[in-house]
Amino acid sequence: MNRASGVLSLLFVASALGGVIEDFEYLSVVEMCDLLPQDTSFLRPNTCDNWVRCASNNSVLEQGGCAAGLNYNKELGRCILASSSATVCPYANAMADQHKNLCANETEGAFIVDPSSSDCRGYILCKSHKQIKANCPNELIFHPVSRSCVYEKQYHCPTSQARRASPACRSLPNNTRLADPVHCDQYYECVSEVLLSRSCPAASAYDASLGYCVDVAEVSCYKTAALPAPENTFCLDSATGSARVGYFADEDSCSHYYICGNPSAGKHDTEPKHLSCPLGQFFDFEKLSCRDRLNVRCQLDRCVGTNISYVNIAGDCQSYGRCSGGVTVSVGQCPTGYFFDERNQGCTETNYHYIACSV
């Protein structure tokens, strides 16, 4: 069982990320509807004759049961005769097994195959002779002999047709979409019981309630889904539209600089290194060095990134700026014949001609 517990512990990692979709059938109906477009109707999982209709602008979430002798047909969206060949309840096997306790004769903590699983991913964990049903994580299926989740190539699922069928799709009509709980620019779609991952076109994202991709500015993402970080275009020369490579000053801070790496696959470096000079130093673009801030011309606010109280001002060695909270809050002037000396924090008769204040 060592191997099984090793592989199964992966399940808990995986379910932290994609678990909502993996365990769709075990969610509450409200949680299921959160993943589905508004107004979606579907078969209530683990039943053959109950349906759910998700809330819409004009209606609240509704649940119902078919009249006696009828089963709910998810494709038709209504109840039809249970004996009709058009309706094969995807949970029929599961319901038949429901009252059989497969853990009755199993040892504590045993993993056994879930015979109701249509895709070989289901297994049962026996705890105090009770059955706890779960699915192997994506890409893995349950091996009934080794009693562990294994890669698909390690075990041939007998119902190979249904091998990739997803439990999330069993209850949903064909072509139903589900929100991706992690990525807002992606979604899932059930096509012939198989869960396919889809991507929204550029600059759009999936609106969980509308059920289609809309402009990123207007999207309402599924609660845990995040928009991708906007692409870093620092290394893209906006004037020429081509990539730039090398060392560059940070346009927002004299004490920081960027390194743009070589373009890859024809695309500029989207992850430039953003580095900081030691305290008291600024980046000198001409010397490609960090050096004493008084020896660097900085046109930005010289109070940024320092804890000193008074700073020299670019282009005027007689004036000084007063810093508070890392920004210049006021500007003062030394008396006639005096020059400001940031190093000694006062006005002196000596003009040191710091590059920081020279014209």
Rank residues 158 and 326 by Cβ distance to ligand NAG and give the closer one: 326
Counts of helices then strands in the chain (DSSP H, E): 3, 25
Rank residues 154 and 175 by Cβ distance to ligand NAG and give the closer one: 175
Rank residues 19 and 40 by Cβ distance to ligand NAG and give the closer one: 40
Output the smallest distance, CB 342 to ligand NAG, in A. 12
How many CB atoms are closer than 10 A to CB 198? 13
Q: Is 39 in the site for ligand NAG (CB under 6 A)?
A: yes
Output the smallest distance, CB 192 to ligand NAG, in A. 4
Rank residues 97 and 316 by Cβ distance to ligand NAG and give the closer one: 97
Residues 6+ apart with CB under 8 A from 24: 32, 35, 45, 167, 168, 171, 178
Among residues 10, 30, 96, 191, the one that binds ligand NAG under rule CB under 6 A: 191
Give yes or no for a contact between 175 and 191, defined as CB atoms under 8 angstroms apart. Answer: yes
Binding-residue pattern over the window 130 to 169 for ligand NAG, x denoting contact by CB under 6 A = ----------------------------------------
Among residues 56, 159, 220, 333, the one that binds ligand NAG under rule CB under 6 A: 56
Give yes or no for a contact between 206 and 212, defined as CB atoms under 8 angstroms apart. Answer: yes
Q: Using CB under 6 A, which of the segments 26-34, 102-110, 321-329, 350-358 binds ligand NAG?
A: 102-110
- Rounded distance between C-alpha atoms, residue 73 and residue 20, angstroms: 24
Q: Identify the CA nearest to 120 among candidates 150, 83, 90.
A: 150
Rank residues 279 and 331 by Cβ distance to ligand NAG and give the closer one: 279
How many CB atoms are closer than 10 A to CB 25? 18
**Site for ligand NAG, residues 268 to 307, rule: CB under 6 A:** 279, 307
**Alpha-helical segments (H) within 154-282:** none
Among residues 63, 159, 160, 174, the one that binds ligand NAG under rule CB under 6 A: 174
Residues 6+ apart with CB under 8 A from 264: none
Among residues 83, 85, 105, 238, the one that binds ligand NAG under rule CB under 6 A: 105
Output the smallest distance, CB 193 to ligand NAG, in A. 7
Angle at 215 between CA 239 and CA 235, to 5 degrees: 25
Rank residues 140 and 172 by Cβ distance to ligand NAG and give the closer one: 172
Output the smallest distance, CB 102 to ligand NAG, in A. 5
- Rounded distance between C-alpha atoms, residue 178 and residue 41, angstroms: 13
